[in-house]
Amino acid sequence: MSFSFFRGQLAEVIQWKDPQPSGLLWKFPSAHDEIKDASQLLVGPGQGVLLVYE
């Protein structure tokens, strides 16, 4: 049995680890531009979040 099916179902942590002082936005890089179910979004001090669903 292949584990490739389960790999897409695992929770993922989304965090901007290296923010640049001049950066305003960061787009989450995903192969299919989607966030998996049960993902965690970590927001650091001085950061904000904008989620857009199209």
Q: What is the pLDDT of residues 1-54, one digit of tens each?
A: 555 555 555 568 888 887 777 778 888 777 666 777 888 889 888 888 888 877
pTM exceeding 0.85: no
pLDDT of residue 3: 57
Asked if 45 contacts 16 with a C-beta cutoff of 8 angstroms, the reply is: no
6-to-11, 36, 46 alpha-carbon distances in Å: 10, 12, 35
Residue 23 has a pLDDT of: 79
